[in-house]
Amino acid sequence: MDVGGIAAGADFDVLKYPKGFIKIIQFVLAIFAFATTTSVNTFSEWTVVCNGTATARVDKLKIAYPFVLDNQEFTTCGVKGMVYGNFSAPSQFYVFIGVMAFLYSLAIVITYVFFSAKFKENDVGPKVDFIVHIVFGLMWLIASAAWAAGLTGLKFYSDPNEFMKTHLCTAPSTCTRIREGDFASLNVSIIFGFLNLFVWLCNLWFLFKDTPWFHRDTPVPPPQGQPASTPVTPPPQEVPGSMYEEADKTQYYPFIWDTCWLNGYVLAIFAFATTTSVNTFSEWKVVCNGTATARVDKLKIAYPFVLDNQEFTTCGVKGMVYGNFSAPSQFYVFIGVMAFLYSLAIVITYVFFSAKFKENDVGPKVDFIVHIVFGLMWLIASAAWAAGLTGLKFYSDPTEFMGTHLCTAPLTKCTTIREGDFASLNVSIIFGFLNLFVWLCNLWFLFKDTPWFHRDAPVPPPQGQPASTPVTPPPQEVPGAMYEEADKTQY
């Protein structure tokens, strides 16, 4: 193998086009997906006091990849037992898909760059690449959903409160919760899983164009000096970034444009809707000393998630829950609503005021800059709300309330009934980062409509004209782009 010849023939230009740079994004996201899963090493902790002893022993439940809990045995006051739960199957399958996606992305990028001529010899390469992307998209969906369900079970069975319900923590022993495991990294791994799903499916369009299944019969504008009434259909020609890229892009550019807008529009709605629609509660039972009846207290959890305005009176003692998460939640919803309104306004501008929008370069420049700003705002808002949601879960946990003076002996005895349901809020975080990704991805298409984008790609000659004669057709308006000419040498 001529290594020097392969290196000399390397074509890095393919990485500048969507099909190429999305591969780089897939490569990075796959690393984050399996790294955030395998790097976890935390534990749950509780104290055990046996009847008739004054000393307390601390027990720890180790939580680490591949998350097998039922191989850890505990001996409490002479009684042996173990924790339930084995989540190795979903976690290992998720990591396997991440590693395979990482390896495939690396291999196909090397193929694009160093073996492009071999890859383009026939239609087999593009077909295989397209089909493999469909398979990986399906696998990311299955793996992410399975691991999300597995993570829910892992949190449940590793909770010290669940251990306290077993025979190991019943009389003559007393168990007290110290801390739960830290699942922040695993929560992030779920987000990366669905981001991978989104990216792999989005890249299908660009790969589909390189297969023989994608057919076009769009006439190219005639060159200067040739009657405009004579349609000219050039044969497929290789252009950097696509296997069958012609100069006229009327049949696929509008699809890309509208798809990116629609994704941003719809995802913005889902982002703020999944946040504002939550109405759940935490619930616990209170028994005062000297009484046989129990009272049930509820902590309401609803947008904008202000907990410290709810007062409780327990056995004559007043108190309240800590926590005010209105700032991150309202900022997140504000960004979602503004993104929704801007997406609606700009598409109305595209459709009904295109002539005004095309009068000068100000419109495309402003649209491009606004997308950068919204991308940054989605990053800040999603990160802030993710941190706020972590705090909301912590302070609304009934076990935290039981640690206050309102639930201490000998006045009262509190027992957990149920925790709040945060499934919708977890999904809202995913939609936040999906919005970030979509708004940043759309920058490429908006950038091409600004005067800052320059390209000098030759236009294929019409049939009957020597290939050595360059043809530069006059500028023409093409649906789906504000300044899209067949030849883009002017911008």
Residue 396 resides in a domain: yes
Domain count across the chain: 2
197-255 pLDDT, tens per residue?
888 888 888 888 877 777 554 445 555 555 554 444 455 444 444 433 433 343 444 44
- Pairing of β 73-76 and β 311-314: unpaired
Residues 41, 94 within the same domain = yes
- The reported pLDDT for the residue numbered 91 is 92
What lies within 8 Å, CB to CB, of 401 at 6+ separation is 282, 284, 299, 321, 407, 414
Residue 56 resides in a domain: yes
- The reported pLDDT for the residue numbered 162 is 76
* pLDDT band, residue 256 (cuts 50/70/90): very low
Cα 169 from Cα 182, distance rounded (Å)? 23
Q: Percent of the chain at pLDDT above 70? A: 76
Domain holding 460, by residue range, is 238-491
Residues 16, 123 within the same domain = yes
Q: Mean of the per-residue pLDDT values for the chain?
A: 77
Within a 10 A sphere around the Cβ of 253, how many other Cβ atoms?
Answer: 17
Res. 31: pLDDT tops 90: yes
Cα 461 from Cα 468, distance rounded (Å)? 8
328-381 pLDDT, tens per residue?
999 999 999 999 999 888 888 887 888 888 778 888 888 889 989 998 999 999
- The reported pLDDT for the residue numbered 172 is 67
User: Of the candidates 215, 247, 280, which is a domain's last residue?
Assistant: 215
Distances (CA, A) of 281 to 220, 296, 300, 313: 63, 12, 4, 17
**Could you give the strand order of the β-sheet that contains 173-179, starting from the edge strand earlier in sequence?**
57-64, 41-50, 173-179
Location of structure tokens 């295989």: 128
Number of residues written out for the chain:
491
* pLDDT band, residue 32 (cuts 50/70/90): very high
Cα 306 from Cα 293, distance rounded (Å)? 30
Residues 273, 394 within the same domain = yes
Residue 5 resides in a domain: no
Residues 248, 112 within the same domain = no
User: Of the candidates 152, 180, 215, which is a domain's last residue?
Assistant: 215
Residues 192, 253 within the same domain = no
Cα 447 from Cα 239, distance rounded (Å)? 19
Residues 64, 161 within the same domain = yes
Residues 103, 22 within the same domain = yes
Residue 1 resides in a domain: no
Alpha helices in 235-300 (DSSP H): 253-276
Residues 89, 187 within the same domain = yes
Residues 107, 38 within the same domain = yes
Residues 71, 174 within the same domain = yes
262-319 pLDDT, tens per residue?
556 678 888 888 899 888 888 888 887 767 667 778 888 889 898 888 888 777 777 7
Query: Could you tell me the pTM of the whole model?
Result: 0.51
Residue 231 resides in a domain: no
Residues 93, 182 within the same domain = yes
User: Of the candidates 155, 183, 215, which is a domain's last residue?
Assistant: 215
Residue 226 resides in a domain: no
Residues 284, 166 within the same domain = no
Res. 92: pLDDT tops 90: yes
* pLDDT band, residue 30 (cuts 50/70/90): very high
Residue 293 resides in a domain: yes
Residue 82 resides in a domain: yes
